[in-house]
Amino acid sequence: MRDRTIGLGRAWLYRAVLALAPLLLLALIEGALRLFAPGPPPLFLPVAAGNVRGHVTNPDVGRRYFPPAMQGIMPRMGFQFIPAEKPPGRLRIFCLGGSTTAGFPYHAHGSFGGFLQVELGQVLPEHSFELINCGMTALGSHAVLDFTGEILRHEPDLIVVYAGHNEYYGAQGIGSITAIGRSPGMVRAVRGILQLRIARLLARALPAPRVEVGRNVMGTMVAEQEIGPSSPLRAAAARVFERNLEGVVSRARAAGVALLLCDVTSNLRGQPPFGSTHAASSTVRTAFAALLREGEERLSAGEAAAAAAALRRAVELDSTHAAGRFRHGQALDALGRHAEARREYEAARDHDTLPFRAPRRIREVIRAVGRRHGVPVAPIDSLFAVAARDGLPGEDLFLEHLHPTLGGHALIAASIARAMERSGTLLPAARWHWERELPWQEYARFSGVTELDVEIGEQRIHMLTRRWPYRRADDPAPDEPFASGREARLVEIATAVVRKALPLNEAHLALGAYYRAQGRLQEALEEMRSAALMFPLDAEAAIETARLLVDLGQPEYARWFLRRALALDPGAEEPLLLLAGAFLAEGQRTEAVRALEALLRHHPGSERGLALRGSLGPGPFRGAGS
């Protein structure tokens, strides 16, 4: 009996080993891959230059979410630097979201985040702020949730989230080529599996989505070209978005980090819906089409009242047709009935079958999550309605369907700052000096936006709006070249940036050098300073900015840039020489001598250093050879 029991035990053990062997093998393979194979690209990369230590945003982090076939058009994270040590009292704010957060069609310095840093410094002068922009084109709430975990390792004081437009066609969006499921449970399971190295390896072996030559990110990411008002994908996207936002709140709360959500906004008056569908029968559709055609003809003829009457009847027949609602809004708009027009424009956005603009349901999720957890929500959309002409946001605040103008970004920054004050986020006892607020143009200048950035932005928008979905393939309109009328050299440099033939920092330096050669020192300074502010690890940009500041009689400001250059390259000849000159320009001979001492210790044969030393005449000097 005992032998039989032992035999049965061995049989069960044998079966257990057989059953577990594949799992053990997979575990061994997974462990080996984690040891020897590269993992998914992180959000931040360590960096060291001279005495400077910290992290920079990883431009290739998008490879986590976009297929290799998109390599040529894959969204890239803009450059941002996080110092390793956060000075005492400094408040570190991270911004998370998609292309609006990133500042498209500008760099991060032209985004609401760039303006927010300037605004906070202006109205809270007793405090110090550091803002890191982690926005990226086509970034959805899945990536926002992922990035939150990585951001929490870098001592954030506040995380600002502006997201919602990319829940359908963004990274892993429910209607995109990278979709991974429709229910929160399925999405969570698939995302968990994709964390395994084996799964990522197998995913790379699968056939990649086809990317047509000449397509941009918008055109490439769309898999579901019709997501109507009654599509189950609408509710699915809202559920997944809500779960991800809940996850962001949970992670921030667990880490004791403040969070602020933003109600997203978009172009109502100036953007017709990209797609429409009928909910009515074929008989009703025929009558609807006739009324829509009549309304459009009347509207074109300037007969707004007759157009409104025809379009009202059309909408009564089919209230879900997005184009019909938009045309009705235009007719009411022409009659000065702006409140009614806004309702129609909003309905057109909400019924758009290509929902690149966040519909009402997505925006309701943002507000609901905020209320449920006591997280402040900046009322961006409401502020845009107040600021827009006739209360109807259009081309006065937007460049196309949803990307704000520079003035629009300033409005978002102002709304966030006001929400911070109302909620007591970060600084509950602070005194906000709103009387120190400046026009948005000044915020743009302080953050480093120049005419070159504006030209780059206009060229990018021109390219974007000449393609699908703004224009259909059968659109007979000629593709007119873009012409801004700006200076030829500026346009040439901007075009090189847009075509990815020239990095942005080098573009600003090149234009600055061009202006300097022409004796246009103030314009040269703006370009050099822009490069130095955008790319704080670029010693050349800091040196050239300082050189121009000295030439323009601002040596004190020049010293700030020179100290940055010396932190990046201690003992470098050029910044030490310029620093000595800056001190001399201020009449600070002792400090100038100290700078020269440092220069000649590192470069005892420096002809310019020795010449400047000789020009100082007799006096204490401890440099090389003294």
390-401 confidence digits (pLDDT tens)? 999 999 999 999
Residue 65 lies in a domain: yes
For residues 255 and 330, state if they share a domain: no
pLDDT digits (tens, 9 = 90+) for 478-520: 678 899 999 999 999 999 999 999 999 999 999 999 999 999 9
pLDDT digits (tens, 9 = 90+) for 86-107: 999 999 999 999 999 999 999 9
Residues 6 or more apart in contact with residue 524 via CB below 8 angstroms: 512, 513, 514, 515, 516, 548
Q: Given a cut of 60, is residue 622 above it in pLDDT?
A: no
Contact 182, 233 (CB under 8 A): yes
Residue 442 lies in a domain: no
How far is the C-alpha of 107 from the C-alpha of 449, rounded, in Å?
9
Residue 444 lies in a domain: no
Residue 439 lies in a domain: no
Q: Which of 501-510, 583-592, 610-619 has the highest mean pLDDT?
A: 501-510
Phi, psi (rounded to 5 degrees) for 97: 160, -160
Which pLDDT band holds residue 186 (cuts at 50, 70, 90)? low
For residues 62 and 207, state if they share a domain: yes
β pairing state of 90-97 and 128-135:
parallel
Q: Given a cut of 70, is residue 13 above it in pLDDT?
A: no
pLDDT digits (tens, 9 = 90+) for 305-347: 999 999 999 999 999 999 999 999 999 999 999 999 999 999 9
For residues 403 and 482, state if they share a domain: no
CA atoms within 13 A on the CB side of 398: 24
Q: What is the CA radius of gyration of the chain?
A: 29
Question: How large is the average pLDDT for residues 193-217?
Answer: 61
Q: What is the largest CA-CA distance in the chain?
A: 109
Report the share of the chain in percent with pLDDT over 70. 86
Contact 541, 505 (CB under 8 A): yes
Q: Given a cut of 80, is residue 189 above it in pLDDT?
A: no
Range of the domain at 54: 44-269+358-424
Q: Given a cut of 90, is residue 462 above it in pLDDT?
A: yes
Q: Where are the alpha helices (DSSP H) in 109-222?
A: 112-123, 141-151, 184-193, 197-205, 217-221
How far is the C-alpha of 190 from the C-alpha of 184, rounded, in Å?
10
Contact 239, 184 (CB under 8 A): yes
Of 6-20, 92-106, 413-427, 440-454, least confident by mean pLDDT is: 6-20
Give the CATH number, domain containing residue 333.
1.25.40.10
**Which residue type occupies 475?**
D
Q: Which tokens is 51 given?
A: 């005495």
Contact 107, 171 (CB under 8 A): no
Q: Which tokens is 594 given?
A: 């100290």
| Closest listed residue to residue 567, CA positions, set 79, 81, 59, 42 | 81
Contact 537, 81 (CB under 8 A): yes
Which pLDDT band holds residue 624 (cuts at 50, 70, 90)? very low
| Closest listed residue to residue 250, CA positions, set 161, 362, 149 | 149
Question: How large is the average pLDDT for residues 142-159?
Answer: 97
β pairing state of 52-57 and 44-49:
antiparallel
Q: Of residues 452 and 40, which shows the higher confidence score?
A: 452
Residue 63 lies in a domain: yes
Residue 511 lies in a domain: yes
Note the pLDDT of residue 620: 54
| Closest listed residue to residue 84, CA positions, set 44, 134, 31 | 44
Note the pLDDT of residue 544: 98
Q: Given a cut of 60, is residue 27 above it in pLDDT?
A: no
Note the pLDDT of residue 472: 77
Contact 76, 62 (CB under 8 A): yes
- Looking at every residue in the chain, the average pLDDT score rounds to 90
Q: Given a cut of 80, is residue 206 above it in pLDDT?
A: no
Cis ω on the peptide bond leading into residue 105 (within 30° of 0)?
A: yes
| Closest listed residue to residue 482, CA positions, set 509, 463, 502, 506 | 463
Contact 573, 612 (CB under 8 A): no
Note the pLDDT of residue 68: 86
Which pLDDT band holds residue 558 (cuts at 50, 70, 90)? very high
Distances from the Cα of 539 to the Cαs of 49, 450, 461, 566, in angstroms? 10, 20, 32, 8
Question: How large is the average pLDDT for residues 288-302?
Answer: 96
**Which residue type occupies 198?**
I
106 secondary structure, DSSP code = S
CA atoms within 13 A on the CB side of 586: 18
Contact 371, 296 (CB under 8 A): no
Q: Of residues 517 and 179, which shows the higher confidence score?
A: 517
Cis ω on the peptide bond leading into residue 469 (within 30° of 0)?
A: yes
Q: Given a cut of 80, is residue 21 above it in pLDDT?
A: no
Q: Which tokens is 471 given?
A: 């224009």
Listing DSSP states for 554-610 in one string gives -HHHHHHHHHHHHHHSTT-HHHHHHHHHHHHHTT-HHHHHHHHHHHHHH-TT-HHHH
Question: How large is the average pLDDT for residues 601-626?
Answer: 75
Q: Three-state secondary structure along 447-459?
A: HCCCHHHHHHHHH
Which pLDDT band holds residue 207 (cuts at 50, 70, 90)? low
**Helices and strands in the chain, H and E counts:** 25, 8
pLDDT digits (tens, 9 = 90+) for 248-280: 999 999 999 999 999 999 999 999 999 999 876
For residues 86 and 189, state if they share a domain: yes
Dihedral sign from CA coordinates of 504, 505, 506, 507? positive
Note the pLDDT of residue 12: 55
Residue 626: Cβ within 10 Å count: 9
Note the pLDDT of residue 35: 58
Question: How large is the average pLDDT for residues 448-456?
Answer: 98
| Closest listed residue to residue 445, CA positions, set 393, 523, 510, 509 | 523
Q: Which of 22-36, 135-149, 601-615 has the highest mean pLDDT?
A: 135-149
| Closest listed residue to residue 273, CA positions, set 339, 221, 320, 338 | 320
For residues 329 and 362, state if they share a domain: no
Q: Given a cut of 80, is residue 188 above it in pLDDT?
A: no
Which pLDDT band holds residue 355 (cuts at 50, 70, 90)? very high
Question: How large is the average pLDDT for residues 368-373?
Answer: 98
Q: Given a cut of 50, is residue 626 above it in pLDDT?
A: no
Give the CATH number, domain containing residue 218.
3.40.50.1110
Which pLDDT band holds residue 415 (cuts at 50, 70, 90)? very high
Which pLDDT band holds residue 44 (cuts at 50, 70, 90)? very high
For residues 418 and 518, state if they share a domain: no
Residue 380 lies in a domain: yes
Chosen domain end from 318, 335, 351: 351
For residues 61 and 136, state if they share a domain: yes
Give the H/E segment covering residue 508.
helix 504-517
For residues 181 and 114, state if they share a domain: yes
For residues 150 and 83, state if they share a domain: yes
The count of domains in the chain is 3
Return the bridge partners of 44, or none. 57
For residues 420 and 498, state if they share a domain: no
Q: Where are the alpha helices (DSSP H) in 206-321?
A: 217-221, 232-255, 282-300, 304-317
How far is the C-alpha of 141 from the C-alpha of 104, rounded, in Å?
18
Q: Which tokens is 354 given?
A: 């290509």
Phi, psi (rounded to 5 degrees) for 129: -125, 150
Give the H/E segment covering residue 378.
strand 377-378
For residues 298 and 263, state if they share a domain: no
Note the pLDDT of residue 46: 98
| Closest listed residue to residue 344, CA positions, set 384, 294, 392, 301 | 392
Chosen domain end from 315, 331, 351: 351
Go through 581-596 and write b for each residue having 16 or more CB atoms within 10 A of its CB, e for each that does not.
Answer: bbbbbeebeebbbbbb
Residue 244 lies in a domain: yes
For residues 113 and 228, state if they share a domain: yes
Note the pLDDT of residue 205: 56
| Closest listed residue to residue 516, CA positions, set 498, 496, 543, 555 | 543
